[in-house]
Chains A and B, each alone.
Chain A
Amino acid sequence: MRKKTAMQKRLIVSDQLLDIMLQRLAHQLIENHVDFSESVILGLQPRGIYLAERLEQKLNAILGFPVRTGALDITFHRDDFRRRENPLTANATRINFHIENQNVILVDDVLYTGRSVRAALDAMIAYGRPAKVELLVLIDRRYTRHLPIEAMYVGKYVNSLPSEKVLVEWKAPDNPEDNVWLITKNEEL
């Protein structure tokens, strides 16, 4: 008998639900940061920047003015360089403002082991000393943390196995809707 691997893809957040979620996260941010005069958003490369972009649009629509938003690349601060099979390719860091004494909201799509966030904290410190740092994630995979890191704002908590993967797909020219999928690789006989 030949073993074959099948991939199961289960929808965990639909397009409509994701929009409500973003709306809620934006309002939670406003509740804590009011006019964002001393607050900035940093999306983590490579995938957190899309969520940061969406939040920025939502906030702009509600507040009527833009919130300072940047992209932070963590490649050179990761702890798995030379410990993984594929080398890491760096992405651009775009921070056109000072983070010294600001409230920084780090934004990523999925919180899993917490190692990316640890690297992000390191990478961020190279730009200055923020007054306060918060973490916002769309999906928090529960009970999978390797480090004592928790998010302050969470779109949805998901229980998942290490063999599973959470995939956030954003609306793009080749993709009509926003969706979040839980992907399972099954080994069948």
Chain B
Amino acid sequence: MQQLSVRHLLGIKDLTPADIALIFETADNFKEVLSRTIKKVPSLRDITIANVFFENSTRTRLSFELAEKRLSADVINFSASGSSVKKGETLLDTVNNILAMKVDMIVMRHASAGAPHFLSRHIKANIVNAGDGTHEHPTQALLDSFSIRERYGEVAGKKVAIIGDILHSRVALSNIFALKKLGAEVMVCGPITLLPRYISELGVKVELDVRKALAWCDVANVLRIQLERQQMKYFPSLREYTLYYGIDKKLLDSLNKEITIMHPGPINRGVELSSDAADSHHSIILNQVENGVAIRMAVLYLLASQVA
């Protein structure tokens, strides 16, 4: 009988390799549940979960909501637009008001790094971080590694290149932590202006040439250019970015080996990834989305066993 070493899923940084292994094993079982005629289990029927989204999201929110419903939890949804946050309510007040309605778990996305960590010090409910600013996005990293494990049997020893806007990406940071803990080799690749200055301190290789990165790796995790987070120009134009860092079928075919393409979505088609590459047999982008529900079910299930 195993249990997670943490009460909240705030980031991959806090997890042990054993925690990740337990989440993967549990997700294997939930993946099987999702292949049944009736894709629902009653485990969390006495749990209420609030999805609190202070930032826009399609995939993550739908994925969490579906995971919660497949586990038979009661779900309430909150999004900042059209709420009292606009009237000046503080984060803690907003969440405490939600908790006063007897909510057991909070799934939260926030534009500020550390917002879920702050909450975890002040409230009793279990918190799952669904993305905090440019900091961490733990469930995305878990489902990415889970998808690599599914494709190759294991993550250890695999070479993974994370390509694109590393500076603004919470997916990149969480992925680096997860992949390193699972024993993969990690490389980050992007324009120098979009690489954090001390990123190599995390034990990752740094590469500026996307062709060299693709030639080195088994798996390329291509990130979106996050124009909404860029207050200044980091590169001259999108067209120039595509010219130097865009990945298309021609480039993939020019490598003398098979690599796997991943993308956390949403894709800017024709910018970081061309349509023929995104829809090719190299891509496991839709498998990632499918695995996302099983991973989130596993995380919620394991944390819910600790709800008082």
B31 to chain A, nearest CB (A): 11
- Chain A residue contacts of B40, Cβ below 8 A: 126
Can you name 26 A-B residue pairings with CB atoms under 8 Å? A75-B29, A76-B29, A76-B42, A76-B71, A77-B42, A81-B43, A81-B304, A81-B305, A82-B304, A86-B1, A86-B3, A87-B3, A87-B306, A88-B1, A89-B1, A89-B22, A89-B26, A92-B28, A92-B29, A93-B29, A93-B32, A123-B41, A126-B39, A126-B40, A127-B38, A128-B37
- Chain B residue contacts of A140, Cβ below 8 A: none
Assembly CA distance A123 to B2 (angstroms): 22
Is A11's beta carbon under 8 Å from chain B? Answer: no
Is B197's beta carbon under 8 Å from chain A? Answer: no
- Chain B residue contacts of A126, Cβ below 8 A: 33, 36-41
Give the interface size bracket for A toward B: 20 to 34
Assembly CA distance A89 to B301 (angstroms): 10
Is B62's beta carbon under 8 Å from chain A? Answer: no
For residue B27, which residue of chain A has the nearest CB?
A: A90
For residue B1, which residue of chain A has the nearest CB?
A: A86
Whether the pair A87, B37 counts as a contact (CB closer than 8 A) is no
- Chain B residue contacts of A86, Cβ below 8 A: 1, 3
- Chain A residue contacts of B30, Cβ below 8 A: 76
- Chain B residue contacts of A127, Cβ below 8 A: 36-38
Is B52's beta carbon under 8 Å from chain A? Answer: no
State the A residues within 8 Å of B (CB): 73, 75-77, 81-82, 86-93, 122-123, 125-128
A71 to chain B, nearest CB (A): 11
State the B residues within 8 Å of A (CB): 1-3, 22, 25-26, 28-30, 32-33, 36-43, 46, 71, 301-302, 304-307
- Which of A76, A82, A86, A123: most chain B CB closer than 10 A? A76
Seed contacts A89-B25, A127-B38; 8 additional CB < 8 Å A-B pairs: A76-B42, A76-B301, A77-B42, A86-B1, A88-B1, A89-B22, A93-B32, A126-B40
Assembly CA distance A91 to B71 (angstroms): 17
Whether the pair B42, A82 counts as a contact (CB closer than 8 A) is no
Q: Which 6 A-B pairs have the closest CB atoms?
A: A76-B41, A86-B1, A87-B305, A126-B38, A90-B29, A76-B43
Assembly CA distance A189 to B171 (angstroms): 61
For residue A73, which residue of chain B has the nearest CB?
A: B29
Whether the pair B304, A90 counts as a contact (CB closer than 8 A) is no
For residue B308, which residue of chain A has the nearest CB?
A: A82
A70 to chain B, nearest CB (A): 12
- Chain B residue contacts of A88, Cβ below 8 A: 1, 305
Assembly CA distance A126 to B36 (angstroms): 7
Assembly CA distance A128 to B37 (angstroms): 7
- Chain B residue contacts of A81, Cβ below 8 A: 43, 304-305
Given known contacts A76-B43, A82-B307, A91 and B36 CB-to-CB distance under 8 angstroms: no
For residue A94, which residue of chain B has the nearest CB?
A: B32
Whether the pair A87, B42 counts as a contact (CB closer than 8 A) is no
